[in-house]
Amino acid sequence: MTAPSEELVDWVDEEDRVLQVLPRRDIRRRNLLHRVTSVLVFHADGRLFVHRRTPTKDVYPELLDVMVGGTVVSGEDYPVNACREVAEELGVRGVPLYELFGHRFRDDDVNNLIRVYGCLCNGPFTLQPEEVAEGFWATPTEATDLVTSGRACPDSSQGWWLYLERYRDRGFADIVAEEGLPAIDCGEFGRP
How many residues are recorded in the chain? 192
Domains assigned to the chain: 8-180 (3.90.79.10)
- Count Cβ atoms below 10 Å from residue 54 Cβ, excluding itself: 16
- For the chain (length 192 residues), average pLDDT per consecutive 10? 74 98 96 98 97 96 97 96 96 94 97 98 96 97 97 97 94 95 87 72
Beta bridge partners of 99: 117
- The backbone region for 103, taken as left when phi is positive above 0, alpha when psi lies in -120 to 50, beta otherwise, is beta
Contacts of residue 128, Cβ cutoff 8 Å, sequence gap at least 6:
88, 89, 90, 91
DSSP three-state, residue 180: coil
Statement: the pTM of the whole predicted model exceeds 0.85: yes
Crossing angle for the helix pair 154-167 and 140-148, to the nearest 10 degrees = 140
Angle (nearest 5°) at CA 43 between 38 and 46: 95
pLDDT for the residue 186: 87
Could you tell me which of 109, 142, 138 has the C-alpha nearest to residue 34?
109
